[in-house]
A = this chain, B = another copy of it.
Amino acid sequence: MADWFADGVPVEQVAIGDRGFQYGDGLFETIAIRDGEPRLWQYHMDRLERGCKTLGIVMPTATGLREGVNHALQQSRVLAAYSVVKIVLSAGSGVRGYGRVPVASPTVLHGVFPASPPPLESYRDGIDLALCETRLALGSATAGLKTMNRLEQVLARSEFVDTGEFEGLTMDTDGNIICGTMSNVFFVNDNSIATPSLQRCGVEGVMRRHIIACLKKQGIETRFQTLRLADLGDCDEVFVSNSQFGVMPVRSCTNNQWPVGETTRRVMSILAKNGVIECR
């Protein structure tokens, strides 16, 4: 169960006329709280700001949003040290119809959710990826952003609820591998690290950005490269990233298998030194 707050006040409902409900007209960020503090806060704010620009929503101040996080954590029944705060920013209530002028007063909600780190075995032995049939549409006007239009992820993720894989890989309409349903994916080839471009679809995860930045500081460049499904077998290592779990090695996807390799271990070790305690 989650505790939700609006302006520091506990809330459980939102107006039916809210454009977030009617059209998915809004954005969200799912922020890892570690030792009571939001992790990668600035990256979350950057993405939210890009989203606001694209959607025509006036960005609330980061200070105000941060105060909202603090209030929510203080008031929530959820143990705050290791948890998740979800900020929802919708275009607010309006008249029926798609059109609107830029939104100066969006609906702002802070939700606190309990969290627990994934099992150590997943980090040690790697996880299995499902391959999703749901394809990501190409040329999305909101590519890279975390909007409240998430049906593609819902459909893709629901494909392997029964089979129990930890995550699923999604391709775009043209058959290029793009990302996981809730994660980004990285490929290692000849010690070189690559991740798909997200110019045409997919979500640019904050952990993906953190990885690229941390590697860069170590003199390691990440290439942006879109992989075909057929190329998966040629990869030496595969790993996925997400704001909550950090980096996880992938050991299999369909009939492809990979070891938990040196490069993935090194990336995890670099992340562990950069605030991602799960990668220790």
Whether A138 and B15, one on each chain, are in contact in the complex, defined by CB atoms closer than 8 angstroms, is: no
Q: B residues within 8 A CB of A138?
A: 137-139, 173
Cross-interface CB contact of A157 among B84, B98, B173, B201, cutoff 8 Å = B98
Known contacts A139-B135, A173-B138: A24-B150 contact under CB 8 Å: yes
For residue A156, CB closer than 8 A to chain B, the reply is: yes
Whether B140 and A16, one on each chain, are in contact in the complex, defined by CB atoms closer than 8 angstroms, is: no
Whether A15 and B16, one on each chain, are in contact in the complex, defined by CB atoms closer than 8 angstroms, is: no
Q: B residues within 8 A CB of A88?
A: 16, 21-22
How far, in angstroms, from A25 to B154 measured CA to CA in the complex? 7
Q: B residues within 8 A CB of A158?
A: 56, 98-101
Mark out the residues of chain A between 64 and 106 whose CB falls within 8 Å of any chain B CB in the assembled complex: 84, 86, 88, 90-91, 96-101
Shortest Cβ distance from A84 into B: residue: B96
Shortest Cβ distance from A133 into B: residue: B141
Whether A96 and B86, one on each chain, are in contact in the complex, defined by CB atoms closer than 8 angstroms, is: yes
- Determine which residue in A136, A141, A148 has the highest number of CB atoms from chain B within 10 A of its CB, and name it: A141
Shortest Cβ distance from A13 into B: residue: B13
Whether B173 and A155, one on each chain, are in contact in the complex, defined by CB atoms closer than 8 angstroms, is: no
Q: B residues within 8 A CB of A182?
A: 97-98
For residue A17, CB closer than 8 A to chain B, the reply is: yes
Q: How many residues of A contact B (CB 8 A)?
A: 66
Shortest Cβ distance from A201 into B: residue: B137
- Determine which residue in A25, A142, A153, A182 has the highest number of CB atoms from chain B within 10 A of its CB, and name it: A25
CB distance from A77 to the nearest CB of B (A): 15
Whether A172 and B17, one on each chain, are in contact in the complex, defined by CB atoms closer than 8 angstroms, is: no
Interface flags, A5-40, vs B, CB<8A=1, else 0: 000000111111111111111001000000000000
Cross-interface CB contact of A99 among B18, B84, B109, B154, cutoff 8 Å = B154
Besides A13-B14, A56-B155, 15 more A-B contacts (Cβ < 8 Å) are A13-B16, A14-B21, A16-B88, A21-B88, A24-B24, A24-B151, A25-B151, A55-B151, A55-B154, A98-B154, A98-B182, A99-B157, A99-B160, A139-B173, A149-B151
10 closest A-B pairs (Cβ-Cβ)? Answer: A139-B173, A24-B24, A137-B137, A13-B13, A98-B157, A99-B157, A149-B149, A23-B150, A137-B140, A98-B153
Q: Could you give 7 example pairs across A and B, Cβ below 8 Å?
A: A12-B15, A14-B16, A18-B21, A19-B154, A91-B154, A99-B181, A137-B137
